[in-house]
Structure 1
């Protein structure tokens, strides 16, 4: 169960990291097609798991670029959010959007197949 404080901190980190990715990270591997889906901060505030979604095929390359910039991102998060201890930023790929699209296609194909079977 997420406590209200960790939930607030997660939301603040999400805002800061999203802004940093859009405006401040100059790594060519990190494109503008990256979005922060969710941030999960552990209850001891030592780690912040940042779930990202990447549009396109360069997912691992983008993830490597973000991992490379994690020190910079952590420092900026520490400057912008007043915490006694700044959590370590850990990036993870969130593939729920791709899974949702895949499920939608499967359902659509089933509907088309059902219509074809009824018309025969």
Structure 2
């Protein structure tokens, strides 16, 4: 219903259900990351629409409460990759590797 959501390319990357199936956390990302905060806010404000759709499809005693969150997996992986490629970190890894080779097992 909102123009930001209608114009966005949203990908749901993961849905995690609580063990009792009462809560669903939906992780998503957008193609370009624009308006992500606004989109997330609006999706959470309109989550009753999704809850109604889920209720119509599933035969559960309770319809799960849906919470939308940003999937930052790729950003975190990129951060770790940059860290691992840092010359100081590479030197520390090589030094630790050389020290491990010198130890007797």
TM range (shorter): 0.5 to 0.7
1:81 aligns with: 58
TM-score, normalised to structure 2's length? Answer: 0.68
Q: Choose 1 or 2 for highest CA Rg.
A: 2
> Which position in structure 2 is the counterpart of 1:100?
77
Q: 1:1-120 counterparts in 2 under 5 A? A: 26-30=1-5, 31-32=8-9, 34-54=10-30, 55-107=32-84, 110=87
1:62, distance to aligned residue in structure 2 (A): 1.1
RMSD: 2.3
Unaligned runs of 5+ in 2: 92-105
Q: Distance in 1 between matches of 2:2 and 2:86?
A: 40
Runs (5+) with no aligned partner, structure 1? 1-25, 115-120
Distance in 2 (CA, whole Å) between partners of 1:109 and 1:44 is 44
CA distance in 2, matches of 1:51, 1:97: 12
Q: What's the secondary structure of 1:29's corresponding residue?
A: helix
Shift of 1:100: 1.7
